[in-house]
């Protein structure tokens, strides 16, 4: 299974992955082109936009260059991507002239090997156009070292993301990340209950402005994270929960204090950038409540507008809940929080 932070359908060209050296990939394409005396060599990736060329060898004509996208239903490339690991030799004579784009004028054969993500799902394919070979099966085996090299870099990318997820700090904001919140929030919640403190879970997210000329950027989310950290107290627990969402466990005297914290963050955000609008959702519970952290978080999170794409409006404010918590059954299907992650045994230790 791939790390949650990796979307296999996002092009490598649209992401900053230091573990994937596209310059080295291009060099491998050049070596293969020279070995096979081929017209062109390129690496293909299946993305949400279609079948995209990630890197290619240098060509005399501006064809099969990096960033070129072909339709996802292009049968020729689909055969190469979904082929057996030992590769395929395709004679284009079996295709009708109108079945292939003009880019393939003069291309007679394609030698290819599929490339897979570490979990076995298809990444794309390594393709050699017009290879000069006699033994197709024997020469197809020569692609294997390059196929393994590319897949090893994808494995290194996934391993790095897993290591980062085990870190308790978010590199972008310096706050706790999702894993850090899993570890720290149950401890603080248990401790707060022992001292009779009321608590609340607040989710913050920048609302998407349809009339805005520019989309939200990383700096906007970083600004929100800084404002949250400046607003909460030392005993509270804040985390960069996902790419766009922040979660805070706050200890207060009453529900009005939760609303006051939300208003304070909204005011600070307005002062820093009046074009940004805040979307929030919260849940509140008393120290007598036996509610677990996971359903509280799920209830607060479900009050965000982004969790209900069909709902119009730029902001949502949570309503109070005490004791037993319920979740609206009419809400759209969203990933439920794993409650076992938040039942931290360390929260019941004698140290607290």
* Each residue's pLDDT tens digit, 232-287: 988 899 999 988 899 999 999 989 999 999 999 999 998 998 888 899 999 998 88
Domain at 168-348: CATH architecture: 2-Layer Sandwich (3.30)
Any idea where the domains of the chain sit in the sequence?
Answer: 12-165, 168-348
CA distances for 171 relative to 28, 111, 149, 228, angstroms: 32, 42, 29, 16
CATH number of 12-165: 3.30.450.40
Residue where the block lists tokens 């979904």: 82
The predicted structure's pLDDT at residue 313: 44
What confidence category does residue 141 fall into, taking pLDDT thresholds of 50, 70 and 90?
Answer: confident
Task: Tokens for 352, please give them.
Answer: 């607290």
The predicted structure's pLDDT at residue 335: 42
**Average pLDDT of the chain to the nearest whole number:** 81
8 has a pLDDT exceeding 80:
yes
The predicted structure's pLDDT at residue 257: 93
3 state DSSP class of 169: strand
* Each residue's pLDDT tens digit, 10-19: 999 987 777 7
333 has a pLDDT exceeding 50:
no
* Backbone phi, psi, residue 92, to 5°: -75, 0
54 has a pLDDT exceeding 50:
yes
Percent of the chain with pLDDT over 90: 31
CA distances for 292 relative to 11, 321, 323, 347, angstroms: 39, 13, 10, 12
Question: Side-chain half-sphere of 42: how many Cα atoms within 13 Å?
Answer: 25
* Each residue's pLDDT tens digit, 180-207: 898 889 988 888 888 888 999 999 998 8
The predicted structure's pLDDT at residue 191: 87
For 16-50, b/e burial (b = at least 16 CB within 10 A) is: eeeebeeeebbebbeebbebbebbbbbbbbbbeeb
What confidence category does residue 84 fall into, taking pLDDT thresholds of 50, 70 and 90?
Answer: confident
163 has a pLDDT exceeding 50:
yes
């Amino acid at each position: 299974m791939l790390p949650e932070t990796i979307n296999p359908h996002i092009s490598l060209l649209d992401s900053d992955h230091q573990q994937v050296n596209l310059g080295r990939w291009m060099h491998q394409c050049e070596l293969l082109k020279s070995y096979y005396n081929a017209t062109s060599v390129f690496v293909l990736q299946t993305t949400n936009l279609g079948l995209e060329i990630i890197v290619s060898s240098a060509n005399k004509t501006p064809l099969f260059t990096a960033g070129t996208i072909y339709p996802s239903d292009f049968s020729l490339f689909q055969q190469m991507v979904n082929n057996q690991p030992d590769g395929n030799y395709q004679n284009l004579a079996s295709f009708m002239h109108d079945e292939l784009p003009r880019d393939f004028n003069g291309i007679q054969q394609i030698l290819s090997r599929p490339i897979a993500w570490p979990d076995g799902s298809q990444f794309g394919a390594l393709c050699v156009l017009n290879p000069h070979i006699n033994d197709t099966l024997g020469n197809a085996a020569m692609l294997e070292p390059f196929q393994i090299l590319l897949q090893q870099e994808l494995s290194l990318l996934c391993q790095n993301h897993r290591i980062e997820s085990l870190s308790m700090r978010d590199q972008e904001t310096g706050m706790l990340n999702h894993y850090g919140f899993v570890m720290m929030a149950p401890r603080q919640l248990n401790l707060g209950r022992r001292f009779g403190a009321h608590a609340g879970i607040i989710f913050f997210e920048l609302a998407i402005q349809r009339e805005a000329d520019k989309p939200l950027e990383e700096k906007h989310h970083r600004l929100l994270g800084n404002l949250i950290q400046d607003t909460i107290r030392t005993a509270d627990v804040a985390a960069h929960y996902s790419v766009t969402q922040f979660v805070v466990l706050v200890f207060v005297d009453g529900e009005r204090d939760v609303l006051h914290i939300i208003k304070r963050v909204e005011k600070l955000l307005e002062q820093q950038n009046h074009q940004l609008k805040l979307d929030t959702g919260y849940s509140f519970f008393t120290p007598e409540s036996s509610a677990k952290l996971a359903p509280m978080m799920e209830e607060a999170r479900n009050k965000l507008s982004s969790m209900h794409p069909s709902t119009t409006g730029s902001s949502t404010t949570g309503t109070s809940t005490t004791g037993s918590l319920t979740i609206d059954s009419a809400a759209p299907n969203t990933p439920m929080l794993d409650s076992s992650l938040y039942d931290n045994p360390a929260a019941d230790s004698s140290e607290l």
